[in-house]
Amino acid sequence: MTTPFSRIGGKKRTDGVSADRLPPGQYIPRGWPVLHYGPVPKFKPDSWDFKVFGGTATGEERRWTWADFGRLPRAEVNADFHCVTKFSILDSTWRGVSASTLLSLAPPSDAVTHVMVWAEYGYSANLTLADFASTGTMFVTHKDGEPLTAEHGFPLRLVVPHLYAWKGPKWARGVEYLTEDRRGFWEERGYHNRADPWLEQRYSYQEAPGDGPEL
C-alpha cells in the first residue's frame, strides 16, 4: 500500500519547494536531525515485546515477541515528516506494520476514543482513535529501504504523517486503548494535545476548549 500525503502545487519557494507543500513555519534541513529525550535504549530481541492492552474488545491483552512482530503483514507509505522544532523531511518511504493491522488483530471496544502509544523508559504520546486509525499511521522499521538506525528509533517507531512527529514515539513498545483522553509525556509538559502541523498546533497555550484534558 502506497499513499501520497504531500501537498503539492502552488507558488514556489526560493528553495524550489511549493509554498503550500510545507506547514507554517517549517523548513527543509540537510539530512535528518536526531532529536529525542533521554538515552538511546539497547535493543534486546530475546526480551523485546509489543503489547496492545486497555480497552480491547475482548478485555484481554495481545502480545507479540520480536519474532512474532516480524511475521505481521508489511505495508509502505510515502509521506512527509514534520517535526515541531520546525524541520520537515519530504517524500520518505516508510515501511512497517500499519496501525490498522494492529486494530484488526486486537480490536478496541466500542467505548474507546483515544490511544496512548508507549515507548521505552515510559515515554508516551496520546492520539485520538481516528488519528491512530488513519491510513498513513504506521509502526515503521525502515525508511527509504533502509532499517531505522538506533538514534531514529530502531527497532520500531510510530509515524503519524498528518501530525507533528512527537506524536510518533521512537522505540515503541505498546498501545493502550483509552475510553477518555489522557495527555502523554510532552503533552503534559506544554505541547499541544492535538499537534496538527497545518494549524501550527505546537504548544498547549494555543489550545481551544475541547482540544484536550486540563493541565
- Which tens digits make up the pLDDT trace of 66-116? 999 999 999 999 999 999 999 999 999 999 999 999 999 999 999 999 999
- Three cell numbers written together for 98: 500499519
Q: What are the residues facing 82 on neighbouring strands?
A: 88
Terminal-residue alpha carbon distance, the chain: 39
* Positions in the chain whose pLDDT score sits under 70: 1-19
- pLDDT value for 70: 96
Question: How far apart are the C-alpha atoms of 9 and 66, rounded to whole Å?
Answer: 41
Question: How far apart are the C-alpha atoms of 153 and 140, rounded to whole Å?
Answer: 9
* Domains located in the chain, CATH noted: 49-206 (3.90.420.10)
- pLDDT value for 19: 65
- pLDDT value for 126: 98
User: In Å, how far from its chain's centre is CA 102?
Assistant: 14
Other CB atoms within 10 A of residue 97 CB: 21
